[in-house]
Structure 1
Amino acid sequence: MTRSFLNNVILFIVLLSCIITVTQSIKVAVLATGGPEDLGFNYQVNQAKVNAEKALNLREVYYFSDIPIPESKEFIYNLCESGYNLIIVSTLDYLSGAREAAKAYPNVQFLLRGSGATSSNIQSVTYNFISANYVTGYFAGLMTKSKIIGYVTPGPPASSNYAAHAFYVGAKNSNPDIESMYFYSTGSWLNPEISAGAANSLLSDYGVDVIGQTQDDMSVQIEAVDRGYIGIGTNGFNQKEVFGDKIALSYVLDWTSVFVDLIQKNIDHPDGNYTKTNYYGDWDNSFLTYTHSRSLDPQVKSILDEIILNFTAVPKAMAPFFCNDYNKYTFSATYLTGAELNCISQARFQNMSDPYPGMTWLGNYTIPITLKEVPKTFTRAFTATSGALILLALILEAVIYINKDKPIIRSASPIFCILIIMGGIIVYASIILWTVSPTTATCNARYWLVSIGFTTLIGSMVVKNFRIWLIFDNPELKTIKITNYQLFPWVAGLLVINALLVAIITASGDLKMVEVMGIDDLTKYQYMQVCKMNNSGAIALYILLAYFALLLLVGVFVSWKIRIVDIAEFNESKPIANTLYAISFSLFVIVSLVVSPQYYLDQQMILCIAGLFMATAALGILFVPKLYGLATRGSSTEQLFSMKKSSIASSRSSASKNSSNPDSGDSGKSSHNPHNYYKKSTNNVLAEFTDESISDQEDESNDLPIENTNSNRV
């Protein structure tokens, strides 16, 4: 008994090995236009593949999708070379390459989508797609309230429009009061953006309330369901499983029996020596079925069951979609057959593209290319902020002018203070232009205003403090008179250099507004207006930035030199340095943005923030202390500016004598404290600083040097 049991086990193992060997001897490829995640046609094809694997205990059945049509022939050839025994092509797009491969590899079996004739290694599979659309059209005619229906079809070159014709005939047969049917073509079986846009147009612009489709996905019906209309599942999957009762009707395609039968034949006859047959799915062989919502009127279901039953009761050539009176208006009598001369052949019907009377073809739908404008919140926020800062700057200008004779303002050169503030105002105005939708004019104005504004602000500050340096930093402490009229050409020269560089950007840089796509987070149907320049303009822009960097370095140097001034009203080294550091940091950020990839709108926002920060920081650091001094000290330092020139001369003469006779009793304090002497002498010099408050009549002694051999300078 033990030996018998062992023999049985061995026999079982041998048989199992044989079965596994047989089942694993076949290698199957299934080709589809898209992945199975579409929950439509491709999902059903993949589901049949999975069901066949389970039923036949297969492992090497592979699903391939999204193969570009021009590359499909080479791809199928590679499959044949890779040892695939059976290749199932479920899409019409790959037929041409598949037929050529079948001729080149006669030992490989092919199942091709379509209705072509069989050959030694080719069979075909199709289903009654026309009747499926006729049934859904019949249902649409029963459900419409507006009596206006719609349809979305691939259209040429993907397919002719016959599915739309079948849908329309079904609707008219169920409801003769249908007024019209509008339909769009999309140009492909799977383009959700196009098909959803077409559905939206039909529902919004043409009064359609029930819509059909010939698409691999459910984009059309999703659009209808989302807007409160009924949905019809027309791509082979039971859409009720996804959308519930919002889908009133779905026709379902079940490819499983075809796949199982074909693969089993190839397992039994690996040499391909079996009777070839073409597969045809219809309502009467469980390939084509339908599901409906729970709320569907039982009477409507009864009507649908009756017309489906009629398909099996009449010859296929006499089906209502082949035989109808609309054919008489579309075809000449030469092509009409049947007792009433209103029938056409299936081949002629499936090649139809011209609409029947009552059908209106709206052409190939294209999604309008729309402009993505600058966000309103972005524009409003920066415009309001810039406007408020301009108002504050104008108030500051007025305060400076009203208090121009106060020592704390006079010491800072009121005219240059006004120029610095004016530069800030120009920068603020330029920020507004950076936040609006660009034009070629505003693109150029942006660079002109922002550069001139900063040149005025920084240049005036540097030139103003350059005068302080020259006045205080001279070894003999001679009276040095430098008027504003002598300094203005320097500011003008800085502006001329700036203007030349920006002119190069404008002229040779071809700075203009262009419309671009594919940047930021734009969809492929959006474009944005941006400012753009060529390489010459970019080089000029880098030179302009280098010019600003040089100007900042000069400003830092002058700020460092005037640190020796020990009178607070004139010693602006710290606030100027802080201002220049803030501007330098912001320019570093700007340069980093220029050379690194950024979202365009993000870049504009950062540039605007940097511009506001630089201008506001400069004005705040320079003028807030002065405003605070005006409020707290007022004219307490007026004595610095009250000396007449004659007293300055006598003071200098006396100081010179005392310094040369250190034993003199009157000069003891001064000679024993050189620092006090320097400060006193410096105060005399300050009386000459604000030249517009001093008479043009000069005492000759003003030209005399102040003898200070001790060189005790701060």
Structure 2
Amino acid sequence: MKFHYLSTRVFVCVNIFIASHQVLMFYSYRYQLNLLRVKLKSEAEDLDPHQTPCLLKSVKMLDTSQVLVIQFNVSSQYQDVFESVPRDIPPNITYDKPLNQLISRSVVFIIIGTLLLGTTEAQQQAPIRMGVLLEGSLRDLASNYVINKGAGETEAFLNTSGNLVVEDISTYDLAYSTISDMADRGFNYFITGADSQFDAAYDAAGDHPECFFLVAVNDHTNQERLPSLRKNMASFRRDLVAPFYLLGYIAGKVSTSVGFVVPGPPVENYYSVNAFFNGARASNAIFNLSVVSTSSYNDHDTALGAINILEQDQAITAVTQSQDDMLVSEHYLARGLNAFGSNGFAQDIRYGSRIFQSIVYDYSTIFSHFAQLIKDGNWQSTHYYATFANGFYQLSDYSYLVPAEAQADIALVFNKLVNNETDTYCCSANNLEFFDAQCVSYHDMLDMEEMYSSVTNYGYYAVPTTEVYDTAGVNNTFLAVSSIQILCGLIAIVACIIFRNKLPIAYSNILFCFGLALGAILVAVAILLWNLHEKNRGICVSRIWMASLGYTFIIGLMIVKNTRIYYKFEELLRKKSDKISPITPDRVYSWLSVLLIIDVILLAIYTGTGDPNKIDSLGLDGIGKYEYTQNCVNNLNGDITLYIILVYHGLQLLYGCYISWRTRRVDLEEFEETHEFSTVTYLISFTTFIVVPLMAGITSQRSRDAIISSVAIFTSFSSLLILLGSKFWKIYNPIQDDGLPKIALDKLPAKPKGHGISGVKNTNTNAVSEYSRNQFLTAVANPTGSSAMFDD
């Protein structure tokens, strides 16, 4: 930017000079021309006043020579006079542009140059306003505090004001909105204090290219994105191994047994433990290190549990940690023991001489470096590596408990680290446990997921959790009802077989009845799985499959057969025929198979990409922090697929409502079940479209499960009772008249009163003649065995 600024100034100044020179030169030559004209006129007083002894033809400024030249047309009798007049104007070259164009071009050059200079000067002199984002509280006297301290020292270095530090920015949305708001308010230098804010800063840098971003990263996250940093971004990271080596070296000088609390993999590999142990053994060959892992940087409950474990080791005289706070050390300090500061703050300021030594972070070295680049107009998208060599790591004041001889030895090791001698902390005989050489690389140290065998490993500590199962009564109720529904479905299948020759079953077709019963049974199985106490991946997947397939059987069979009935009835009216052919099962199931294939594909996508599984949810639905419930969950892809499945079944219901409305006038005894289809379709639709919106306002997972179970049991059990139960009731208690209107039948051909569909005399209004009955049933069993009855 600095070069751009200087080059712009030079370019503008040169153009202003050229333009000004052109104007001045033109007026100079024009002045000489006027003098020449006056002298020629005085020499030829008898000349015709309408003629000019010296006629100005044109004037031209050549772009190559930048010289104004004029061509003259002089009368021959005055040529001697013209030649005798002294002049500085070269003759015989033409310039055909008027003076106003020359002046206009010069003015334009001057205006543009002034604007460019003003704009560049404004950019150059724009004040740096710094915005710092902290993941936690700046009062933690740890990492967030020292970042804030570094920002304050950078502010003093820049001699600016109006900078801002924002606390507790721990989510993407909060980080992005904070940066955008500050950018709109004039902040132009943003610093993130944690790698969790990287993504938000990366996106914000693209939206605000006029701002500069210095983002924190570490050696395990966001590394793959560093090469693709935007031009207005730079990053910084710390050497994670060297400071623990030096702290361990100090520990070996003042103690023989130290306790160490770390997160442990996968939160943090054991590089901190192994580096600390190497440093301690370098200064004390009999040093012992005891370690407890907690899987967290800042969880107080697990830290207290780790303390209780370390307290059992009576040999421990000092402790330290790689966590964000000093909770572990505070407990031992209260007991009169000692500790080390490892989180960037000079802990001796707070706890006094009980702190042997602290590794201090100086973030001003990083922040000031990039602020100076902005100030100089020389921003560079680079990766800053903070080490002892560039002054980022420093030591606080020694405790009086550290002997002077030990301080001298520590100073030697410190100077080696300042000189960037990595062999100091990357070479140890302990490395032979995991590698083929004593000296390994820095990244090999970072990747260590195991401790050295000489380290006393007390393992992981986790706060014991307790399962909460307070919905046993509700779940048992649904288990009982779903079991009853399964039993009723099986009984219905058996009853259909027994009464397969009865008209209500024969008209509907036994295979069709089997499909309806199977759908109700599948939904009941889904509800049974939904309310089991113990869950696993198989249960979580199966319950979705059972529920979706069950409703596809129930709704799909109804809408397919209802559609066939509608077209069949319309055909009877159009042809004015009384030949009624049944809806055969092959026609129904051929269309149902299409609906089932779509459903199976969606369910397979859900299973393959949705990652459905069982988890123990801690603190969910208002239970205690360390209480859990078993729940089935899936990822975002699973959620999207489930919504698609719900929409798919919703479209089936909408079409079912439409076709039910169209078949409301069908009143033939052979197709009277269409009215039962309508009842069930309206019932399921009404229940679903009322309950589903209500689910959006319910956050309790247990309440959601109860509502889902209730709706599924109600709709599927009601469908079973209405569709099949009504058929068994008609078999048990035949009726003479179903009370349906006979409007549509009036349009059919007239036939003798009391005759059935074949025109044969029939005194039973509830039944058709033996001839027509046998003919109809034959067509149901064998659609191609009767030429009189057909299904187009």
TM-score (norm 2): 0.40
Which fold has the larger relative contact order, with Cα–Cα distance below 8 Å and residues 6 or more apart in sequence? 1
